[in-house]
Structure 1
């Protein structure tokens, strides 16, 4: 088993600068989109996919400079943002910010409900990075706000039914008989009404509010596993929350915090697990080899393979871990079972 093929380093991420129909709209034309695990929702068939293996969820990312805007859109499945760097504003409503906004910074997690319009803007001057989890193997196509279509046509981009993007500035033409994607009707827009800001705040967990679960099987000296998204009680000792959601997620999200030198012994899981290092240097040791991950790196662990963690950096490690399914499964510790 080649574990290196399951590791996507931040430095090796392959961006797509015209993944979506708003790619040339002024204010949105400097963003980079990434598909890290799974097919994602790109409208460009040339989008690079780093790890295509189905997981039951998708991992993507966005990188944007200061002031850059991701236009208003709606999703069919969960869209969860882990703020890796920078300060961001999530804008709600069919027109950006009409229905309010929510600000988030490094380490925060924001889950936006399905079937509502949202966009996001990078607030500070430096380039920022969002690590994004999308629900299901097929997260469906993006539904764009009417103004996005109007601006796209002005800059040579046409979206076809089924989600294919045609770039007329590159000499591409709309295939004969192809149908253009419908602009959302007023009736549809009414059905995608924005919940109250109080309800939307239930999908935001600031990094400073994350608390370790003492019942976590991974907890130990210098190790905390903090719940972030837990749709239902799990078999590894987590109660629902802090994000449950009245919309489906289909996965759990945890924050793993480790002090310098702290470790988690070899353990096994049967569900898909993807690890993202937010800060520090994390060693992942398996019977198939050992990997060292740095900030911004993503690794998808093979199901059933024993894995052990150790914090190598002097300032410890913060990592976010996605586990497939609403009810995360039990954890097995092979060495403990052998000694019993």
Structure 2
């Protein structure tokens, strides 16, 4: 396949490198931050504004990706209150131990989420969570679409915030009033009625378990890419949501339904990675373990090195090469825009070297023996 070439400058590469150490926390992103059980929670916008109710939040990367990416970071014992989304919301847990609950009053079910877990909460379902671990927790939060439509809070949350003198306007911004008394002349968000709440979908434990991918659920492919047998290649891939970038025709994801993006885990030993390729989808890497070097362009290469909890956004169409450069196995989340498979275009040198190793791709873009598909 052919995609439009994109050359990335060193300045743009640096702008798309989102380092944990440089992030600015938003401690008033949402109306529930006035509640005692939510005090101290930190939210970070990484790509796009997400669903924040604070117009002053800092957003490192504003270019449209077809999705939003943020972080939920909560100290021990702190809660994120019940709310629902209109687009997909997926949590990739990097640290901490989290108790998720769902349903109008949070009693339809609970799930314990730990590092390495990925959970996709269905749209139009109220969800909340608490950091029940002993340390601060960190979860990347992936949201579908550029325009998410905001969120709806459970009526109990709006009522509790109102008793603290904090209200939510009809245009989704926080406004101050007196305890139990909203400000005059401001149209407020109305809580859902009992009839509207009763009409919302409900999910049981078994249904939600199907949307949770724990490390023991993953099926790692040792040959997910054309360069799997080559020096500099050799990365392994485990699909979580959607088919994404795999070239292994036997791989299937844990979660199938459309999200507007795919999620997969990628891991590699030091010196391994993914050789030079490009494609026509937006893509973001979120590091869990190890250190990684992302090199862009072919003729004028620029590189960025990222470590745990860092993020890198690759421009659509840019040539990229991914290498694990730490002293331990590296693992990161690959988030790729779109609901369908994303076909990769490999550097000609990779194609030739793979063919020498007996590996090519069939018409569908899946790996196949060169002796069978390259007969002419």
Please indicate the TM-score interval, normalised by the length of the shorter structure. over 0.9
Shift of 1:141: 1.4
Counterpart in 1 of 2:26?
Answer: 16
Aligned counterparts of 2:217 and 2:186: Cα–Cα separation in 1: 50
Counterpart in 2 of 1:54?
Answer: 64
Aligned counterparts of 1:281 and 1:299: Cα–Cα separation in 2: 12
Counterpart in 2 of 1:224?
Answer: 236
Aligned pair in 2 of structure 1 residues 145, 295: CA closer, same or farther (>3 Å)? same
Aligned counterparts of 2:252 and 2:269: Cα–Cα separation in 1: 26
Shift of 1:156: 2.4
Aligned counterparts of 2:134 and 2:194: Cα–Cα separation in 1: 36
In 2, are the aligned partners of 1:218 and 1:224 still within 8 Å (CA)?
no
Q: Are 2:346 and 1:333 aligned?
A: yes
Counterpart in 2 of 1:312?
Answer: 325
Name structure 2 gaps, 5 residues minimum: 1-8, 356-376
Counterpart in 1 of 2:369?
Answer: none
Matches within 5 A, 1:81-100: 81-96=91-106, 98-100=107-109
Aligned pair in 2 of structure 1 residues 225, 219: CA closer, same or farther (>3 Å)? farther
SS at match of 1:51: coil
In 1, are the aligned partners of 2:293 and 2:325 still within 8 Å (CA)?
yes
The correspondence for 1:66, drawn from 73, 76, 80, is 76
Aligned counterparts of 1:282 and 1:251: Cα–Cα separation in 2: 22
In 2, are the aligned partners of 1:279 and 1:294 still within 8 Å (CA)?
yes
Deviation by residue 1:57-81 (Cα, 9 ceiling, x = unmatched): 1001111011110000110000000
Aligned counterparts of 2:307 and 2:119: Cα–Cα separation in 1: 23
Matches within 5 A, 1:94-133: 94-96=104-106, 98-133=107-142
Shift of 1:303: 1.1
Aligned counterparts of 2:171 and 2:223: Cα–Cα separation in 1: 45
Name structure 1 gaps, 5 residues minimum: none
Q: Are 2:267 and 1:254 aligned?
A: no
Aligned counterparts of 1:130 and 1:160: Cα–Cα separation in 2: 28
Counterpart in 1 of 2:38?
Answer: 28
Counterpart in 2 of 1:242?
Answer: 254
Q: TM-score scaled to structure 1, two decimals?
A: 0.92
Counterpart in 1 of 2:148?
Answer: 139
Corresponding residue pairs, total: 332
Aligned counterparts of 2:19 and 2:273: Cα–Cα separation in 1: 22
Counterpart in 1 of 2:282?
Answer: 272
The structure with more radius of gyration = 2
SS at match of 1:22: helix
Q: Are 2:48 and 1:42 aligned?
A: no
Counterpart in 1 of 2:308?
Answer: 295
Shift of 1:104: 1.2
In 2, are the aligned partners of 1:261 and 1:316 still within 8 Å (CA)?
no
Aligned counterparts of 1:133 and 1:50: Cα–Cα separation in 2: 15
Counterpart in 2 of 1:186?
Answer: 194
Counterpart in 2 of 1:148?
Answer: 157
In 2, are the aligned partners of 1:218 and 1:264 still within 8 Å (CA)?
no
Q: TM-score scaled to structure 2, two decimals?
A: 0.84
Aligned-CA RMSD value: 2.0
Counterpart in 1 of 2:174?
Answer: 165
Shift of 1:235: 7.7
Shift of 1:100: 1.6
Counterpart in 1 of 2:3?
Answer: none
Aligned counterparts of 1:281 and 1:177: Cα–Cα separation in 2: 53
In 1, are the aligned partners of 2:225 and 2:246 still within 8 Å (CA)?
no
Deviation by residue 1:51-104 (Cα, 9 ceiling, x = unmatched): 0111111001111011110000110000000001011111112223x1120111
SS at match of 1:271: coil
Shift of 1:328: 2.8
Aligned pair in 2 of structure 1 residues 154, 177: CA closer, same or farther (>3 Å)? closer
